[in-house]
Structure 1
Amino acid sequence: MLAQARETLPRPGVLPGGLAFEAKFDGYRCLLFTSAQQGAPVLLQSRRGSLIQRHFPDLVTAARQLPHGWVLDGELVVWSGDRLSFEALQRRASSGGQTSAQLAAAMPAHFITFDVLQADGQELMTEPYEHRRTALEDLFTERGLTPPWTLCPMTKDPAVAQEWLESWTQVPGVEGLVIKGLGQRYLPGARGWFKVRRRETTEAIIGGVTGTLSRPQFLVLGRYDGDGRLRAVGRTTPLHMEAAGQVADHLIEARPGHSWTGVRFAATWGSRDTLDPILVVPELVAEISADTAVDRGAWRHPLRFVRLRLDVTVADVPPFGEGAAPAAG
């Protein structure tokens, strides 16, 4: 079951049975199938349907703590110090053989459970979320489950949820909230839940555009690193006509020698499709709205253009690697 994005927390009554608010973590969505009987395999299935348990032998071993015949829905994450590391998670998900075991020891995975589709061989998808949540809480209590198993935090109090959205999302890897109806059934593939990501306003430098100089479609954005190199940090969503006109009035096509000459830009995170941007003189600063999903200095999700900052210079833009640092005054 999936969630549709919203900008703000929904009002009571939007979803059946009242609202439940869960913390949203930035990891790999995954279904965990415990063994159906003694000696049967444990399966981990990605959102795309791939079986990935061979990459996470530590979770397979830890699943011995779990009873037979359960199907859990959750998020695979890897902690690095006091933050979640998406880069470490990617390394683990692409590892194999002896490397998988070595990485499991160095950077163990955790499974944050937020729903259950089957318990003790009995399907629960037609049960309301409130009943499924109770089954999960009972599982953790009766089995005394500890990491790598984590029960996703949930509250029914909108004030507490708002506090989570404002404070918890300061921790890298905690993106926002997922909102469910207490009376909702589990509907595979349906976008019946809501999700609200925390967003911050910050700045980046326009290094290229798609479309044309007179009608830019996307902005390709960058920041300077400590060596003075312009590093790509992401691209925007499509510009509205008014915003495109505002930007076009100030664009100057770059001369040979631009930092990004010959660089290939992925159309979206993890995609093999590429953009073919027109490189521009990197002197325009864009104010953008960004979420907290940052990996190796770049945002994984498209950024939203807010406005041009003609009142600041590229020297005022936060350096590469600082994520959504506060906007310049």
Structure 2
Amino acid sequence: MASPSPTSPPIEPMLAKIADELPPEGGFLYEPKWDGFRALVFRTADGVYLQSRDLRPLNRYFPELEKALAEALPRGCVLDGEIVVMGANGLDFDALQQRLHPAASRVAKLAQATPAAFVAFDLLAAGGRSTMELPQSERRVRLERLLGSAAAPLHLTPATRDRAVAQDWLQRFEGAGLDGVIAKPEALPYQPGKRAMYKIKHSRTADCVVAGFRWYRDQEDAVGSLLLGLYDEAGALQHVGVTSAFTMQMRKDLVQELAPLREQALENHPWRDWAQASDESTRMPGAQSRWSAGKDLSWQPLRPERVAEVRYDHLQGDRFRHAAVFLRWRPDKPPQDCRYDQLEVATPFELEKVFGAAKAR
């Protein structure tokens, strides 16, 4: 049986592993980490095929991007990059999520209202020939050559070999909605499915109220995740995210540890209305939506009396963008002191200035 073409879908994207800080200068190419949907773009003789990180087609959700890329790219090339939506205040991940709508009429409307863009950061093929065996540095040169005159909605990501510049990007570009910095060894060939790069993300801590939990895989002898809350300026406890990275032993221990807080928890719970709501549009912990893929997101209320310190990377609106990491309990911290005003706010930064540094240094 013939092996699949190295320039045809599906191709697993190369991945990154988390690092606490930027690697030493020398031998690395640094790029901003874009906050969008990872995608591979295949420019075939028939048009453009958009492939998601999990190898699924994305064309139906981004018809305007499919058309623009077909016009802008030469046949036989394969790009790795990120689909993003650029809003007035930088990248808009909420608007991007809304683009994954099942109704064609809604997709068409959103394509006009919140058009997507594609930010390219790697070249997997050109002229119908694979470039994946070439080192990262050479693929970057060829990518710059290919996209030297690219125009929106197609963009070339900035890149630098200067660690100090990358460190500056890590701080400043967050204000435009970016998600950190990626470090790529310059000699690295493209390795599908392998965690061969490094991602350095913002890391901050926050003290949060633990106001509920979910069972671990429907097992009522282990806690799956803790629901976190922060008080807003009006004194209302808002659901800000979850923390779920526990060992199995800790999951079982939490059942006993949290048991006293389950007693009469719903009686005066700030999320009582959410617990009793049936409207899926209600902003409640565990509300079912098309993003939950059929998962059981029902939750168990706890009296909001315990405080946990967690590590998070950044906010998406007024919630943590990703699951937070549990660090420790804070018995010394009153729940009422867990407010939004403790969180560090990124200084706004113009997205166009990010693209102003698109040529590798």
What percentage of aligned pairs have identical amino acids?
35
RMSD: 3.2
Deviation at 1:207, TM superposition (A): 0.6
Change (3 A) 1:209 1:53: closer
Look up the equivalent residue of 1:194 and give its one-letter code: Y
Aligned to 1:274, the other structure's residue is in SS state coil
Look up the equivalent residue of 1:163 and give its one-letter code: D
1:305 maps to what in 2?
326
Q: CA separation in 2, counterparts of 1:177 and 1:84?
A: 15
1:196-235 alignment, distance < 5 Å: 196-209=200-213, 218-225=225-232, 229-235=236-242
Moved more, 177-186 or 163-172: 163-172
Deviation at 1:211, TM superposition (A): 6.9
Q: CA separation in 1, counterparts of 2:215 and 2:44?
A: 52
2:308 maps to what in 1?
286
Matched, 1:188 2:177: no
Aligned to 1:183, the other structure's residue is in SS state coil
Aligned residues: 311
Q: Which runs of 5+ in 2 are unaligned?
A: 1-13, 277-283, 346-361
Q: Deviations over 1:192-238 (max 9, x none)?
A: 111111112222211124579x9967422112456655332222133
1:109-258 alignment, distance < 5 Å: 109-141=116-148, 144-172=149-177, 174-209=178-213, 218-225=225-232, 229-239=236-246, 248=257, 252-255=261-264, 256-257=266-267, 258=269
Runs of 4 or more above 6 Å deviation: 214-217, 240-245
Deviation at 1:315, TM superposition (A): 3.2
Check the 8 A contact 2:25/2:161 in 1, yes or no. no
Deviation at 1:286, TM superposition (A): 2.3
Matched, 1:316 2:337: yes
Deviation at 1:96, TM superposition (A): 4.3
Deviation at 1:305, TM superposition (A): 2.2
Q: CA separation in 1, counterparts of 2:250 and 2:97?
A: 38
Q: CA separation in 1, counterparts of 2:146 and 2:286?
A: 45
2:50 maps to what in 1?
44
Q: CA separation in 1, counterparts of 2:115 and 2:193?
A: 29
Check the 8 A contact 1:292/1:324 in 2, yes or no. no
Look up the equivalent residue of 1:42 and give its one-letter code: V
Change (3 A) 1:192 1:293: farther
Deviation at 1:61, TM superposition (A): 2.2
Matched, 1:71 2:59: no
Q: CA separation in 2, counterparts of 1:222 and 1:211?
A: 18
Check the 8 A contact 2:202/2:313 in 1, yes or no. yes
1:84-103 alignment, distance < 5 Å: 84-94=91-101, 96-103=103-110
Check the 8 A contact 1:318/1:325 in 2, yes or no. no
Aligned to 1:155, the other structure's residue is in SS state coil
Q: CA separation in 2, counterparts of 1:176 and 1:323?
A: 21
Change (3 A) 1:217 1:120: closer
1:55 maps to what in 2?
61
Q: Deviations over 1:66-114 (max 9, x none)?
A: 2111111000000111221111111112254333232122111110100
Look up the equivalent residue of 1:29 and give its one-letter code: R
Check the 8 A contact 1:266/1:273 in 2, yes or no. no
Q: CA separation in 2, counterparts of 1:216 and 1:271?
A: 21
State TM-score, norm by structure 1.
0.82
Deviation at 1:27, TM superposition (A): 0.6
